[in-house]
Amino acid sequence: MYVKIRTKLIVFITLLAILPIVIVNVYSYKKFVKTSADLNQMSTLNVTENQADSINFYFGDIIASAKEIASSDQIRSFTEKSNSSDFTILDTDEEYIEITNKLNTLTECSSFLEKVMIINNSGMIIASTNELDTGKSMSNYKGLFNLASTNNGISSFFIGGEDNNVPVFIVAKAIYSYDSQCLGIVYHLYNTGYLQNLINSSNYNKYTTCAIMDNTGHILEYPYKTLKSYTEDESFKHASPMLLNVLTAEGNTDAYNPVYSFGENTNARTVFASNIPANNWSVLAITNDANLNKEISRETNNQRNLSIILIILSCVAMVMFVIVATKPINEIMKVFRKKQKGDTSARFDIRSNDEFRLIGNAFNDLFDDVFESEQRYRTIVEITNNIVFEINFEKNSVFVSKNFNKKFSHRAKDDTVKESFLYKLRLHKDDKDRYMTDLDRVLGPANTMQGEYRVKSIYGDFIWIMIKATKFYNREERPTKIVGVIMDIDKEKRSEMHLLQRASYDALTQLLNRETFIKTLDAELDNSAYKKSLDALMFIDLDDFKFFNDEYGHACGDEVLKFVADTLKEVCFERGFAGRLGGDEFVACLTNLTLYGDSGKIAQEVLDILSKGFISDSTGLKLTIHASIGIAFLRESGKNSEEIIAAADEAMYNIKKHGKSAYAYAKAAQKHALSDAEIIDNNLL
């Protein structure tokens, strides 16, 4: 019986290998050829588009060069003078010499730029890289002026150049006066060497050639032989319907199909077109489909024969494997089924003297280790103070240790992830979004999670916890589970926050102390430079503060300082931050102002609140406070915090000398504070 089953398996596997080979080779041959041709088409179109991008960048550069010459103040002035009736070109004119040198420098920097000329409104050439042209009149200068206002100033191909026998093109840009009057044009004559080199280096297959078509339909190929219209070119005239659409689309790539096939059998061809936005030219490529398909067929036949050999060899290997492996597999599967049902006593009992026996023994040892590890894991979970949880992706379930209910009151409806404590924790409003982001990340692409959050405990107060979690994967790199721990860090966190509070804030006023304020100001100065925002610093010094200490005692003086601090907290809320430098000196940073004058309004608001005063607890009297305020703007009044504070201090000191109880701007900022209607243009700061 055993031999019979093995024979059936051998016959089945053999048929399973042979039948797909026959079906695949009969059915997919033509489809594979077509797919390969489609891939070649896609590759050719991509190369054509890349070529178009490269040429577009090239034209962007030469257009920018022409614009730079046309917008030069010196050339604008020289051209404007040339339009006057008494203008004469002198070889000794320094301005003329300087302009000519500048034009010659352009041609020296580019081997493809043959000539640069400047032509005034009457058609006279007033400067040229060829001195013989200077002073002559251009017969077609009106056409050049029209060219400068169309197609980015780029002409179509024509035969010209130094030898008058190569394809060239013109880039023309108008020279405008400051009141937008046309004074003349800049004329650049380029040969097509760069374009021919580019299409010659195209990374196409050996059955595809490349060309460039200008906006009038002339075709430029490599190597250059003659300049023809696409309707006359032997390679492209059969694609006239497509190329006509390309020309009339005027850069709208949605108006035509970039791939056009024509001809049959040995005459089959495909033309590809990609637009060059800078001048509405196009990069063309033409593929000999007949020859390309022949090569694909040859490669397909070779691959098909090789695949048949490999599949047959694989079938033989599988048959041999079945013969050797069939017997112990059933025993192995039985044990696995028992393990899946929870039978921890199930063990392999393979009596053959081969590797399967070793495998069975290894699995037995592994099962023992897993059982021991599970017992150890359960014990650790039960005795630790930390809360342990596990998310099982395959079962969509969550396990959490029993001590969870000692701190939190959630009772899940079921074991699913959405109903678990992970989504039901009552988090502090300031931590909820951050927690959900961290949770979504670890449930998604992230491998770990670690964060500190405030969660409402079973007693109704918020406590600090830390959650650490790690994701585990199977051998197929699919996530299987997440194991994590929740630690109570409330005492440590509150102690840390208390120490931070004491280290960063003034003990009396609870404003930022000197060191912390300067660090915060340094950070704001960097932020202001990055965002180009308008930010100001107020330096506040109380007037006659010594009077309160001498007249009513230091307890009253402390009340005054606290009142000033509370005022700055109120005024700076959502506007910036404030600090105490020491004694009766305070500072406040105002961020993201709209107007320069807004800082003065805020300073006056501080003075008004202080002047209204407060009722002193120690004296029972109503005390009014007066102060002098200096204002400096970040990035304008100094390069660093010390310079900005010094500038504001100096402005405050000027107030002290001239009557007190007012505010003033630092010298560098006074010009901006003249009008509250001045709008700040962040792009110009």
Q: What share of the chain is helix, strand, coil (3-state, %, to 5)?
A: 50, 25, 25
Kindly state the tokens that stand for 557: 């003086």
Question: pLDDT digits over 217-229, tens only?
Answer: 999 988 887 888 9
The residue type of 642 is E
CATH topology agreement for domains 40-311 and 384-495:
yes
Name the residue ranges covered by the structural domains of the chain: 40-311, 384-495, 505-684
What letter would DSSP give residue 637?
A: S
Question: Residues 355-373: what's their mean pLDDT?
Answer: 69
Residue 215 has pLDDT above 60, yes or no: yes
CATH superfamily of 384-495: PAS domain (3.30.450.20)
Length of the chain: 685
Task: Give residue 679's pLDDT band: very low, low, confident or very high (50, 70, 90).
Answer: very low
CA distance 672 to 666: 10
For 145, the token pair is 């002026």
Amino acid residing at 606: V
Give the span between the Cα atoms of 584 and 562, in whole angstroms.
10
Pairwise CA distance, residues 282 & 270, whole Å:
16
Question: Lowest mean pLDDT: which of 221-225, 233-237, 295-299?
Answer: 295-299
CATH topology of domain 40-311: Beta-Lactamase (3.30.450)
In whole numbers, what is the pLDDT of the chain averaged over residues?
84
Mean pLDDT calculated for residue range 33-37? 75
Kindly report, residue by residue over 522-551, the tens digit of the pLDDT.
Answer: 999 999 988 899 999 999 999 999 999 999
pLDDT(23) > 90: no
**DSSP assignment string, 426-467:** -B-HHHHHHHHHHHHHHHTT-SEEEEEEEEE-TTSSEEEEEE
Cα angle, residue 436 at apex, residues 433 and 442 outer, rounded to 5°: 140
Residues 6+ apart with CB under 8 A from 297: 33
Query: What pLDDT does 668 receive?
Result: 67
Structure confidence by residue, pLDDT tens digits, 325-342: 666 666 666 776 776 666
Local confidence band at 173 (pLDDT 50, 70, 90 cut-offs): very high
Backbone phi, psi, residue 615, to 5°: -90, 120
The structure's pTM equals 0.45
H/E run at residue 184:
strand 182-191
In this prediction, residue 677 carries a pLDDT of 41
* Dihedral over alpha carbons 444, 447, 448, 453 (to 10 degrees): -10
pLDDT tens for each residue of 568-594: 999 998 899 999 999 999 999 999 999
Q: How confident is the model at residue 365 (pLDDT cuts 50, 70, 90)?
A: confident
Burial class (CB in 10 A: 0-12, 13-18, 19+), 297: middle
Contact 128, 113 (CB under 8 A): no
505-684 classified as CATH 3.10.20.340: no
- As a whole-number percent, the residues of the chain with pLDDT over 70 amount to 82
Instruction: Convert the pLDDT of each residue in 55-94 to its tens digit.
Output: 999 999 999 999 999 999 999 999 999 999 888 888 788 8
Q: What are phi and psi of 234, to 5 degrees?
A: -60, -30
In this predicted structure, the answer to whether residue 306 has a pLDDT above a threshold of 80 is: no
Buried/exposed 77-105: b ≥16 CB within 10 Å, e otherwise: ebbbebbeeeeeeeeeeeebeebbebbee
Helix (H) or strand (E) holding 627: strand 627-633
What is the C-alpha to C-alpha distance for residues 600 and 670, in angstroms, rounded to an integer?
A: 11
Residue 184 confidence (pLDDT) above 90: yes
What is the DSSP-derived secondary structure letter of residue 594?
S
